[in-house]
C-alpha cells in the first residue's frame, strides 16, 4: 500500500540570486492526503508547480513512480491540478470544462458524457452541465475545478490553496467534502494551504514549510504535540514559548522554577525553548498552581475563552479556558509534566527524530 | 443640483456628437434623395441597385477590404501574441504605434518612392540583373500598402486581449493534457476573439472606403466605393449619387458591427450542437 509515487530529491530552485527552495526532500505515498503548510512565500506553491510541470527546478530530481520527470512537459505528467483561482475556462460551460481533458485524450463521446456526469455527481453538481461559469457561485466553481481534475482519474491531485477564496462556513463544508472525496477515490492529494487548522483537520501527513525549507514533516498529531522548533510551534496552533534551561534528563527550568518534564537526551544546562499549549493550562486559585499570573484581557471565542495574562517576570501567557476569568484577577496556572514540550535550538529534523527514538525506546 | 453639474460635463461631447456625427449622417441621407438637378427622387437608390457597375464596385470594395483585413490579421495576430511574451513590450508597442503618427499621405508617397520603376526595390533587383518590375499600380502594391497602414489598428486590440488573458487558463489547459497547439486553439484563440473582432471592425470598415491609396498606389485600377464617392463629389458633382453610396457604406458598417459584435445567446446555442 505504502508505495512512493512522487519523490523530490535534493530539489533547489533559484530565481537569479533568490533561493526559493532549499534542498527539498519529500516522499509522497499512494493514497494519502498530504499538506504543504506554510506562510506565503515559504515555497509551498513552488513545490506544487515543480510537480505539475509549470516550472523547472534549478537542481535536484522530481520523480514520478521512480522515473525522473524533470524534463517531461506538464501535459504529459500524470498529475492534475486544482488551481487557486480555479482557472475555469470562461468561454465554456460546466460540461465542456469538465470534458476538456477527456476530449483532448480523444475519449469516445458516450464515455465522455458518462464520466463527466459521474464527476459532477461526485462533487454534487448534477444538473449543472449547461450552466455558464459566470453563473456559478465561488463554491460551485470550486467544485467544477475539482470535477475537471478528478474526471481524468489522476494518481496524484495537486490542490493549490483551493479553499482560500471561500467564506468560513463554505470552507468548513468543503474541507469535509475534500477529505471524503479523497478517501472515496483513493487518489493521493497534495494540498497547499497557509491555514494550519485546515492542514491539521485534513491531512494524513503535513510538511511544514518556511523560508524554502521543510521545517518538519509528520502526522498532524506529531507536529502539534512535538513541534521541532520555534517556527513550527508558533505557526501550528497557539502556543506559549518560554526560554529555559535543561537541568538534566526529565528536568527543565523556566520562569525561575524547576519542573518535571518528559523530554530527555539533551546536554545538562543546555538552553532550550519550552512550549506550553494554551489549552493545556488550567486556572486554579493562587497557591495551588505552578505559575502565578494576573489576567489582563479575555476574548470570548464561542467554544472557549481566550485569556491573556502576565506573570511577575512580564512573560505573556495565553490560556484557553471554558470558564471565564475576571480582568485584573490574580490566579495560578497549572499544567502536567506531559504538557511541557522542550525544543532544542537549531535542531535538525533527523536529529530530533533520532533523539526522540533514543529515550522513548528506554521506557 | 449634482445631477445638473454632471450633465454639464456631457455638453462639449454632446455638441461634437450633434454637429460632427449626427448632422452629417442626416445630411448624407437627405442628400441621397435628390438627383443632380436638385429634384427629390428615389432614382439614386434605384440606379445603385440596378446598375452592374455599382454592384461590381460594391463587390470589389468588399472583396478588397476582406483581403486587406485577412492579411492584416495574418500578420497582426502572431505579432500581438509574441509581443506579449517579449521583454520590452512597451517599447515594441511604441514602435508599432509610431507609424500611425505620420500622415497617411506622406506614407503613401514614401511607398511610391519604394515601389516605382527606379525605386528602392527595383534598384535592389537590378543588382542581380533582374529587369525593373511593375510593382506600383498593381493589386499587390495596393493591398500591401493598405495592410501596412492598418496593421497597428489590428495589433492593438489583439495585444490587449492577449494581455488580459489569464495565464492560469493556459496552465490549466496544459495540466489537463493539452499540447501547446491544442491550448492555443481551444483556449487562447477563443479567449482573444474579442480582440480579433475589434481589430476586424477597426480595419474592415475603413478599408471599404479607402480612396487615396487606390489612387496613389493602386493607380485607379482598383475602384472602390470610396473612390466612387470622391468622383461623384469632386468630379461629376453628382452629390446625390455620392451620398447614396455613402448611405450604403454606413449601412455596411452597421452590418459588420452587428456580425462581429458580442452575442452571447447565439454563442450558447451554437455550442450545444457539438
Residues on chain A touching B270 (C-beta within 8 angstroms): none
Residues A219 and A257 in one domain: no
A166-214 tens-digit pLDDT = 888 888 888 888 999 999 889 999 999 999 989 999 999 999 999 999 9
Q: What gap in Å lies between CA A288 and CA A268, rounded to an integer?
A: 29
Instruction: Give the CA radius of gyration of chain B.
Output: 23
* A261: its cell numbers: 518534564
Residues A319 and A342 in one domain: no
What is the side-by-side strand order in the sheet with A4-15?
Answer: A18-29, A4-15, A59-64, A67-68
Interaxial angle between packed helices B52-85 and B193-208, expressed in degrees from 0 to 180 and rounded to the nearest 10: 140
Residues A48 and A148 in one domain: yes
Q: Are strands A205-210 and A188-193 parallel, antiparallel or unpaired?
A: unpaired
pLDDT at A69 (0 to 100)? 93
Residues on chain B touching A52 (C-beta within 8 angstroms): 171, 175
Inspect the interface and report whether the beta carbons of B177 and A52 lie closer than 8 Å.
no
Residues A270 and A328 in one domain: no
pLDDT at A107 (0 to 100)? 94
Q: How confident is the model at residue B223 (pLDDT cuts 50, 70, 90)?
A: confident
Q: What gap in Å lies between CA A304 and CA A283, rounded to an integer?
A: 13
Q: What gap in Å lies between CA A346 and CA B175, rounded to an integer?
A: 39
Among the listed residues B73, B70, B62, B76, the one whose alpha carbon sits nearest the alpha carbon of residue B253: B62
B168 closest CB neighbour out of A73, A83, A96: A83
Domain end position, chosen among A225, A247, A269: A225
CATH of residue A315: 2.40.50.140
Residues A143 and A247 in one domain: no
Is A164 a member of any domain? Answer: yes
Number of domains making up chain A? 3
Per the listing, cell 492560469 goes with B168
CATH of residue A146: 3.40.50.300
Q: Is the pLDDT of residue B143 over 80?
A: yes
Interface test with A, best of B175, B182, B195 (most A CBs within 10 A): B175
Is A269 a member of any domain? Answer: yes
Q: How confident is the model at residue B252 (pLDDT cuts 50, 70, 90)?
A: confident
Higher pLDDT pick, B2 / A362: B2
Cα four-point dihedral sign A92, A93, A97, A102: negative
What Cα–Cα distance (Å) separates residue B69 from each residue in B62, B151, B204? Answer: 10, 9, 6
Q: What is the ipTM of this complex?
A: 0.81
B128-151 burial, b if ≥16 CB within 10 A, otherwise e?
Answer: eeeeeeebbbbeebbbbbbbbbbb
Is A266 a member of any domain? Answer: yes
Residues A38 and A134 in one domain: yes
Is A320 a member of any domain? Answer: yes
Residues A202 and A259 in one domain: no
A87 in B contact zone (CB under 8 Å) = yes
Q: How confident is the model at residue B135 (pLDDT cuts 50, 70, 90)?
A: confident
CATH of residue A243: 2.40.50
Q: Is the pLDDT of residue B133 over 90?
A: no
Please state, as a whole number, how many other Cβ atoms lie within 10 Å of the Cβ of residue B269.
10
Q: What's the start-to-end Cα distance of chain B, in Å? A: 55
Interface test with A, best of B161, B168, B176, B184 (most A CBs within 10 A): B176
Q: What gap in Å lies between CA A314 and CA A333, rounded to an integer?
A: 15
Is A232 a member of any domain? Answer: no
B168 closest CB neighbour out of A87, A92, A148: A87
Residues on chain B touching A101 (C-beta within 8 angstroms): 176-178
Is A233 a member of any domain? Answer: no
Residues A259 and A165 in one domain: no
Residues on chain A touching B187 (C-beta within 8 angstroms): 89
pLDDT at A102 (0 to 100)? 95
What is the side-by-side strand order in the sheet with A188-193?
Answer: A79-82, A156-160, A188-193, A33-37, A205-210, A213-218
Please state, as a whole number, how many other Cβ atoms lie within 10 Å of the Cβ of residue B234.
9
pLDDT at A135 (0 to 100)? 93
B49-97 tens-digit pLDDT = 898 888 888 888 889 999 999 999 999 999 999 999 898 999 999 999 9
Helix (H, G, I), strand (E, B), or coil: what is residue A116? helix
What Cα–Cα distance (Å) separates residue A259 from each residue in A266, A337, B176? Answer: 16, 7, 57
pLDDT at B2 (0 to 100)? 62
Residues A271 and A149 in one domain: no
Mean pLDDT of B89-106: 90
Inspect the interface and report whether the beta carbons of A75 and B175 lie closer than 8 Å.
yes
Q: Is the pLDDT of residue B187 over 60?
A: yes
Q: Is the pLDDT of residue B263 over 80?
A: no
Q: What gap in Å lies between CA A269 and CA A93, rounded to an integer?
A: 66
Residues A182 and A269 in one domain: no
Q: Which of A206-210, B31-35, B151-155 bottoms out in mean pLDDT, i.e. has the lowest?
A: B31-35
Is A23 a member of any domain? Answer: yes
Q: Domains of chain B (ranges plus CATH)?
A: 64-236 (1.10.3720.10)
Inspect the interface and report whether the beta carbons of B178 and A81 lie closer than 8 Å.
no
Q: Is the pLDDT of residue B267 over 70?
A: no
B174 closest CB neighbour out of A74, A90, A105: A74
Q: What gap in Å lies between CA A24 and CA A131, rounded to an integer?
A: 42
In degrees rounded to 5, what are phi and psi of residue B192? -105, 10
A85 closest CB neighbour out of B168, B179, B272: B168
Is A234 a member of any domain? Answer: no
- Which residues span the domain enclosing A295? 282-334
Q: Which stretches of chain A drop beneath a pLDDT of 70?
A: 1-2, 360-363
Residues A248 and A155 in one domain: no
pLDDT at B274 (0 to 100)? 36
What Cα–Cα distance (Å) separates residue A126 from each residue in A101, A120, B259? Answer: 19, 5, 35
Residues A112 and A203 in one domain: yes
Min distance A88 CA to chain B CA atoms (Å): 7
pLDDT at A187 (0 to 100)? 92
Mean pLDDT estimate for chain B: 87
B187 closest CB neighbour out of A83, A89, A93: A89
Q: What's the start-to-end Cα distance of chain A, in Å? A: 31
B169 in A contact zone (CB under 8 Å) = yes
- Per the rule left: phi > 0, alpha: psi between -120 and 50, beta: everything else, B137 is left
Confirm if A295 and A326 have CB atoms less than 8 A apart.
yes
Inspect the interface and report whether the beta carbons of B176 and A92 lie closer than 8 Å.
no
In degrees rounded to 5, what are phi and psi of residue B176? -85, 5
Residues 6+ apart with CB under 8 A from A345: A229, A271, A272, A273
Amino acid at each position: 500500500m505504502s508505495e512512493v509515487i512522487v519523490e523530490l530529491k535534493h530539489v533547489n530552485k533559484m530565481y537569479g540570486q533568490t533561493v526559493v527552495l532549499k534542498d527539498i526532500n519529500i516522499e509522497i505515498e499512494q493514497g494519502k492526503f498530504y499538506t504543504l503548510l506554510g506562510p506565503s512565500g515559504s515555497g509551498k506553491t513552488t513545490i506544487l508547480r515543480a510537480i505539475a510541470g509549470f516550472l523547472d527546478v534549478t537542481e535536484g530530481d522530481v520523480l514520478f513512480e521512480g522515473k525522473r520527470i524533470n524534463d517531461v512537459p506538464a501535459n504529459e505528467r500524470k498529475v492534475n491540478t486544482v488551481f487557486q483561482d480555479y482557472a475555469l475556462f470562461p468561454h465554456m460551460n460546466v460540461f465542456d470544462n469538465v470534458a476538456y481533458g477527456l476530449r483532448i485524450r480523444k475519449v469516445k463521446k458516450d464515455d465522455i458524457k458518462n464520466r463527466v456526469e459521474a464527476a459532477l455527481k461526485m462533487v454534487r453538481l448534477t444538473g449543472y452541465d449547461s450552466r455558464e461559469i459566470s453563473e456559478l457561485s465561488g463554491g460551485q466553481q470550486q467544485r467544477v475545478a475539482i470535477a475537471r481534475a478528478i474526471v481524468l482519474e489522476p494518481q496524484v491531485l495537486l490542490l493549490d490553496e483551493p479553499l482560500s477564496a471561500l467564506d468560513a462556513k463554505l470552507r468548513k463544508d468543503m474541507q469535509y467534502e475534500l477529505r471524503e472525496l479523497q478517501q472515496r477515490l483513493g487518489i493521493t492529494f497534495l494540498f497547499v494551504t497557509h491555514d494550519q487548522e485546515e492542514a491539521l483537520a485534513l491531512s494524513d501527513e503535513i510538511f511544514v514549510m518556511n523560508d524554502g525549507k521543510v521545517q518538519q514533516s509528520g502526522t498532524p498529531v506529531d507536529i502539534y504535540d512535538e513541534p521541532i522548533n520555534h517556527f513550527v510551534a508558533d505557526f501550528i496552533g497557539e502556543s506559549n514559548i518560554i526560554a529555559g534551561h535543561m537541568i538534566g534528563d526529565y528536568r527543565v527550568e523556566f520562569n525561575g522554577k524547576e519542573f518535571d518534564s518528559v523530554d530527555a537526551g539533551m546536554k545538562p544546562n543546555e538552553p532550550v525553548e519550552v512550549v506550553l499549549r494554551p489549552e493545556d493550562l488550567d486556572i486554579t486559585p493562587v497557591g495551588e498552581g505552578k505559575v502565578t499570573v494576573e489576567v489582563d484581557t479575555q476574548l470570548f471565542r464561542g467554544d472557549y475563552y481566550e485569556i491573556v495574562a502576565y506573570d511577575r517576570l512580564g512573560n505573556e501567557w495565553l490560556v484557553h479556558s471554558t470558564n471565564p476569568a475576571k480582568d485584573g484577577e490574580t490566579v495560578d496556572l497549572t499544567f502536567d509534566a506531559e504538557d511541557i514540550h522542550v525544543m532544542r535550538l537549531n535542531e535538525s529534523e533527523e536529529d530530533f527524530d533520532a533523539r526522540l527514538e533514543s529515550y522513548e525506546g528506554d521506557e | 443640483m449634482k445631477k445638473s453639474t454632471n450633465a454639464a460635463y456631457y455638453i462639449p461631447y454632446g455638441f461634437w456628437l450633434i454637429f460632427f456625427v449626427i448632422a452629417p449622417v442626416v445630411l448624407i441621407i437627405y442628400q441621397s434623395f435628390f438627383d443632380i438637378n436638385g429634384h427629390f427622387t428615389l432614382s439614386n437608390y434605384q440606379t445603385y441597385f440596378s446598375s452592374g457597375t455599382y454592384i461590381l464596385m460594391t463587390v470589389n470594395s468588399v472583396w478588397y477590404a476582406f483581403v486587406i483585413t485577412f492579411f492584416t490579421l495574418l500578420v497582426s495576430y502572431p505579432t500581438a501574441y509574441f509581443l506579449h511574451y517579449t521583454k520590452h513590450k512597451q517599447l515594441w508597442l511604441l514602435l508599432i504605434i509610431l507609424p500611425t503618427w505620420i500622415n497617411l499621405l506622406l506614407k503613401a508617397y514614401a511607398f511610391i518612392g519604394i515601389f516605382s520603376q527606379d525605386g528602392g526595390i527595383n534598384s535592389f533587383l537590378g543588382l542581380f540583373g533582374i529587369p525593373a518590375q511593375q510593382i506600383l499600380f498593381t493589386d499587390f502594391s495596393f493591398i500591401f500598402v493598405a495592410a501596412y497602414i492598418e496593421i497597428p489598428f489590428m495589433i492593438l486590440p489583439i495585444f490587449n486581449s492577449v494581455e488580459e488573458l489569464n495565464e492560469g487558463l493556459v496552465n490549466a489547459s496544459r495540466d489537463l493534457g493539452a499540447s501547446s497547439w491544442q491550448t492555443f486553439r481551444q483556449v487562447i484563440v477563443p479567449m482573444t476573439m474579442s480582440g480579433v473582432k475589434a481589430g476586424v471592425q477597426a480595419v474592415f470598415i475603413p478599408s471599404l472606403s479607402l480612396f487615396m491609396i487606390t489612387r496613389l498606389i493602386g493607380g485607379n485600377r482598383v475602384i472602390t466605393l470610396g473612390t466612387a464617392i470622391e468622383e461623384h463629389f469632386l468630379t461629376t458633382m453628382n452629390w446625390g449619387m455620392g451620398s447614396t453610396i455613402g448611405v450604403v457604406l454606413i449601412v455596411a458598417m452597421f452590418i459588420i458591427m452587428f456580425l462581429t459584435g458580442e452575442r452571447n445567446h447565439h454563442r450558447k446555442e451554437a455550442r450545444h450542437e457539438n
